[in-house]
Structure formats: C-alpha cells, structure tokens
A = this chain, B = another copy of it.
Amino acid sequence: MSDRLDIAIIGATGYTGIELIRILASHPKVRIAHLAAGSQAGQAIGAVFPALLGISPELLPDPFLHPVDPDQIKAKAQIAFLGLPHATAAPIAAALLARGVRVIDLSADFRLKNPATYAAWYNHEHPHPELIPEAVYGLVEWAQGLPEARLVACPGCYPTSVSLPLVPLLKAGLIAPQVIASCASGTSGAGRSAKVSQLYAEVAEGFRAYGVEQHRHTPEITQTLSLAAETPVRVTFTPHLLPIDRGILATLYIQPKPGVDEATLRQAWVEAYGDAPLIRLLPPGAQPDTKDVRGTAIAAMALTPAREEGAPWVVTCAIDNLNRGASGQAVACLNLMMGWPLIAGLPLVALVP
C-alpha cells in the first residue's frame, strides 16, 4: 500500500498524456495508478512510448492502457487528469465528478465561462454547461479556489504564454486594453494524430502563420485579459507553426498608459511574481528562448520599451507548450489542490542542448 496519492491519466497516449506521465514519474507524492486511452487500450504505455520505459514500477504499478471507464477510474484513483479532445472530455468529467473523483481537465471544455462563446467557437453546444461555473481556471499564479476545487480547467498553451506576462499589467491598470499577440508554437501543439500538414517533410525548414483571426484560443485569451483588466480587452492573436518539437514564444505589443514608465511596469511584474518559483523575469536586454525552458514549467518573460515615444512596447514570454502550457501547469494545479508546494515534482531545469 502506498502513502502516495493515486491519480489516473485519461487520454494517456497524446502528447499531453506522455508529458503528464513523464512529470508525475518524478513527483514525490503521487502514484500513477491508472492509465486509460480509448484507441490503444490493452497495450503497455512503454510499447507506445519507449521513452517511458524507465519508470519505476512503484510509481507506475500498472503500465497498461485501459478503456475509458468512469467506474474503473473511480476504483483506482482520487484525482483524474483528462487529456482528451474537447467535447469528449466534458461527459467523462461529468461522470467522474458524479462518482466523487476530482478532475483536472486539459481540454478546452471548461475554460470559457460563457457557453454561448464556447458554442460559437467550437461549433457545437456545450455538453455540460451546468459544470462551467464551478470550474477553476488553472492559471496557477492567479487561480482561486484550487484547494477546494472539484473541477479544474487547465489553460490553453497560447493563453498561458500571453496571460502570464499581461495579467499583472492589466490588473494594475498600466496598459491600454488592446494587445497584439504574435505567437509561435512547436509542432507538438498540433497533437499526435496523423496529418499530412504535420509531417516532418512539410514542417521542417518552414515557418507560417495559421488560423489567423480564427484560432480557438482567442476567446480564452480575451476572457482572461478582460477579467484582469476589469474591462473588455481587444486581442489580436496570430499563431505560427515552428519547426521545433515543443515551445511557445509569445511576442506581445502593448501600449503603456500615459505617464507609465518602464520601472512601473517592471514593478508590477515583481509584485505579482517576485516570489513565484515558476516565473522568470529577465533583466533588461535579455530575451527568453524557448529552448531555455524546454521540458520545464517555467515561464520566462522580458520587457523592452519602445525607442520612440508613443510606439508599442514589446513583451516576450517563452514557455514549453506541453509543460507550462499543459501538463506541467496541470500538475501545479494538483499541487495546490492538495496543499503541496507549488513546484513539487515539476522540472525547473531545461534540457540544453
């Protein structure tokens, strides 16, 4: 019998699934008690991802993938991570909550507070609007109510990269409520499904924008920034596809309000994040590189004032889309749900080179 918390990972064979397993396999207080995956049930996880073969049996006593069955999950685990596609996740979440299993959902299903917005961007009615109000939005440095939460909606990867640097500035009322977010993500953000557009030979040695003015993370970013600003924030969001495995760089253009200087903006960051172990505020002149946060839960951010009076200022923020932008942030939420240290089990040192 283990004195560790038993958790389940549902949707274990996607990229967020493998990243959850990788992180939790080093977590001091968790045991991975149950893995589920619809399409590959019956296989051992190590047969799907040999990278995971090194996990100790104590931490992963049952390495086999099971069908997605709420009763079975309930029998095995107290908390379940859901790494499922949107619309698939919500019904499973509902079934698990009904059985008393707390849910940390990595899908988009519970991020948007307005079900009409969800319906408009995801092209179907929300499957369980009654659960939306209680879902805690898990942007960890700003999340409220995690210790009691039954249902956590983990933020999207792009929204994390945009919101972390901007929320403190908007909350403090220091910048205008219009921002431009020119973001670029590694290919793992597109998931682990077979698509011609994601083949190595299509992606390597190229760079392109996609989903311009249409990406589904737009309303999530708008919601978070507007809540922080307590006024509607206009967001122009342009995602790009990078020929790298993982990583997001957000390049943000902001307009400080009249009279706001660099020191004031930096001070707002320090007040918000001075003690935050997962935030790295870079000194003037330095720029974050996605490579320097690869495999970690760190968000590294920099601020550069405009050369010219009145011009936009540049904020950059680098995260690992699978870790800080998904599974690492989900584990941070778990830590706060359980009253553990925020960084328990989280990788903080990047794999370089």
| Distance in Å: Cβ of A316 to nearest Cβ of chain B | 5
Q: Which 5 A-B pairs have the closest CB atoms?
A: A54-B348, A206-B291, A51-B350, A201-B353, A208-B289
The contact of A184 among B188, B207, B293, B310, by CB within 8 Å, is: B207
Contacts of A243 in B (CB 8 A): 200, 204, 242-244
Q: Can you give 28 contacting A-B residue pairs, CB < 8 Å?
A: A50-B288, A50-B292, A51-B352, A54-B280, A54-B298, A54-B348, A182-B253, A184-B184, A187-B199, A187-B353, A188-B353, A192-B199, A192-B201, A194-B195, A204-B245, A206-B289, A206-B294, A207-B242, A207-B247, A209-B314, A212-B287, A234-B308, A236-B306, A243-B243, A243-B244, A245-B353, A246-B353, A295-B295
Contacts of A198 in B (CB 8 A): 199-201
Closest to A309 in B: B234
A170 CA / B155 CA spacing, docked (Å) = 39
A192 CA / B320 CA spacing, docked (Å) = 24
Instruction: Enumerate A47-106 residues with CB–CB distance to B below 8 Å.
Output: 49-55
Check: A22 CB closer than 8 A to any chain B CB: yes
- Copies of this chain present in the complex amount to 4
Closest to A204 in B: B245
Interface size class of A (residues with CB under 8 A): 35 or more
Indicate if the CB atoms of A205 and B205 lie closer than 8 Å: yes
Closest to A199 in B: B198
Contacts of A212 in B (CB 8 A): 287, 302, 304, 314, 316
Check: A263 CB closer than 8 A to any chain B CB: no
A251 CA / B18 CA spacing, docked (Å) = 28
